[in-house]
Structure 1
Amino acid sequence: MTNSPLESAGLRPRVDKALSGFLATQRAHLLEIDTALAEVADAVSAFVLGGGKRLRPAFAYWGFRGAGGADSDEVVAAVSALELVQASALIHDDLMDRSDTRRGEPSVHRRFELLHTAEGWRGAAAGFGDSAALLLGDLAMVWSDELLHSSGMALADLARARPVFDQMRTEVTVGQYLDVLTQATGDTSLERAGKVARFKSAKYTVERPLLLGAALAGGGPEVFASYAAFGLPLGEAFQMRDDVLGVYGDPAQTGKPAGDDLREGKRTYLVAAAYQAVDEATRQYLESALGDPALDDTGVERLRTIIREAGALAATESRIETLTTEALTALAEAPIEDEARTVLHALAEASTHRSV
């Protein structure tokens, strides 16, 4: 096995190749409609191919191999469809959060806002950017379907995988809504924070990709149960690590401005744990500062200090470790191929002990 679990079986470059070929074909189709759509094709390609950890295809591929599936370019193409689901979710997430950057580059709505301004077009540049991002996110989701079904996998395999793929896309969409709802209502309960993490990210990052791979391979119920027992706690730990990085991460590594999650008022497990631990006066300050888009660096640092001194950061790190241990225990007992078990163990460690 290579040093990085994401490189096992040469997977990452193979996923990139599948995505590049598919997006090149889509670009040609768009240009047949109108040459003005070159910017749309280029923006989606830049977003999809410009970065990302490729975790979801990796979990799906090794879920497939663990369930007895044989390696092929067709299965790599099929699991690569998950990157288009991820692109759709991130494009829409950036729009809803009013994020200016993604991976150190302008977010999609900002990219098209800048295009509008540069071309001197009519109307509001920001409105044009928002509309473009909404449509490009939708387009990426539509294309995820097309890539899965044009992957070359047998129709019987795709028929087994389809319900998992559909349920995953429903879950991530309603999870996004619950995230927006939680910010709007100011719900700071640990129960709500856990549910948002579970449906917005945890299930579609690890559990559903594993189950998609198992379905493509024709895995039995024991494999499905083991993947669920492994994937759900690991996905929650992954999201909690993401939440920690959203508050304490280095912008040079994360590609997003420091404290953005605090300015957006995200009610994560980290924030909910702080609410549970502080006194009423501090809770009122948290209520007023969280979600303030004008929060400056001093305000961000004050919130970080409050969260840390309340013990919320330590509690979140402890929860990450507990969930990871639970996941790895389930993996150790799973009735799957040993090579896949080894790689999935490494993927679990890489998912929860990371700085980006």
Structure 2
Amino acid sequence: RQAMAAVQATAGADTVRGQFLDLERDFGPMPDREALDTVSEYKSARYSVLAPMQLGLLAAGADAAAHEKELARYARLLGVSGQMRDDYLDLFADADTVGKPAGSDLREGRRSYAVCALLAATNGAERAVVESALTGPTCPPQTVERVQDIARRHSVDKQLLAEIRRGAEEAAAVAATWRGRWRDEAVEFFEQLPLWGALRAK
């Protein structure tokens, strides 16, 4: 029980840290890829993936600490891939499918994976359009559509999809190494989870 409580406490503290990192990402200097990945890890992957897996091992009587490195790698890869999928869907998905208008990250000034990729790919008039969309909730749908067109022109959508798929495949490969140690059906679930996440429509 003490070990399980420690996992929960650590997950809670990590999530708080992730929230602070999230604010720094959106209001500080333009984040690089490592900064974006760290936000994804601390804000979501550690409590939604790593902690539940650690708790499951502890409940089964296993030594979770003995698997810390590989579990942390799997969680980070899955968390990053999942967040990138969220960011991709926010900009490119059909509004009726996801249940909200496209471009909410833009309107909220969030430096998501998609937004950062867009800013890195553009300059001049195109970059000005993207930056104008980041100014607040009054950004009209027509501007979001222009941003989408610019993103597709620079293959930002394809770049994101490729990175999402690559991260999911790396996470699945980590899970595949668990065969022979844990039940086959459990390993199969953890192998398929990242790939499902990479293809989800909402």
2:38 paired with 1:195: yes
Q: CA deviation at 1:237?
A: 0.4
How has the CA–CA distance of structure 1 residues 222 and 233 changed in structure 2, closer, same or farther, with 3 Å as cutoff? same
2:15 paired with 1:172: yes
CA distance in 2, matches of 1:190, 1:228: 18
Aligned length in residues: 199
Judge conservation of contact 1:223–1:336 (CA < 8 Å) in 2. Answer: no
Normalising to structure 1: TM-score of the pair? 0.52
Q: Which residue of 2 aligns with 1:147?
A: none
Judge conservation of contact 1:160–1:218 (CA < 8 Å) in 2. Answer: no
Q: Which residue of 1 aligns with 2:155?
A: 311
2:179 paired with 1:336: no
Alignment of 1:95-134 (within 5 A): none
Judge conservation of contact 1:274–1:311 (CA < 8 Å) in 2. Answer: no
Q: Structure 1, residues 187-244: CA drift from partner, whole Å, max 9, x if none? A: 2433332222222223333223222222332323444333223222011101111111
Q: Which residue of 2 aligns with 1:266?
A: 110
Q: CA deviation at 1:260?
A: 1.1
In structure 1, stretches of 5+ residues that fail to align are 1-157
Q: Which residue of 1 aligns with 2:25?
A: 182
Choose the corresponding residue for 1:256, options 79, 86, 100.
100
Q: Structure 1, residues 307-329: CA drift from partner, whole Å, max 9, x if none? A: 22222222211111111111111
2:58 paired with 1:215: yes
Judge conservation of contact 1:236–1:323 (CA < 8 Å) in 2. Answer: yes
Higher-Rg structure is: 1
Q: Which residue of 1 aligns with 2:200?
A: 354
Query: Residue 27 of structure 2 aligns to a residue in which SS?
Result: helix
Normalising to structure 2: TM-score of the pair? 0.87
Alignment of 1:214-293 (within 5 A): 214-220=57-63, 221-293=65-137
Q: Which amino acid aligns with 1:257?
A: P
Query: Residue 293 of structure 1 aligns to a residue in which SS?
Result: coil
Identity over the aligned pairs, expressed in percent?
32
Query: Residue 187 of structure 1 aligns to a residue in which SS?
Result: coil
How has the CA–CA distance of structure 1 residues 285 and 252 changed in structure 2, closer, same or farther, with 3 Å as cutoff? closer
Q: Which residue of 2 aligns with 1:120?
A: none
Q: CA deviation at 1:295?
A: 0.7
Q: Structure 1, residues 274-323: CA drift from partner, whole Å, max 9, x if none? A: 22221244333322321421011101111112222222222211111111
CA distance in 1, matches of 2:39, 2:155: 22
CA distance in 2, matches of 1:349, 1:297: 31
Query: Residue 182 of structure 2 aligns to a residue in which SS?
Result: coil
In structure 2, stretches of 5+ residues that fail to align are none
CA distance in 1, matches of 2:13, 2:92: 30
Measured on the aligned residues, the alpha-carbon RMSD in Å equals 2.0
Runs of 4+, deviation exceeding 6 Å:
none
How has the CA–CA distance of structure 1 residues 172 and 309 changed in structure 2, closer, same or farther, with 3 Å as cutoff? farther
Judge conservation of contact 1:238–1:352 (CA < 8 Å) in 2. Answer: yes
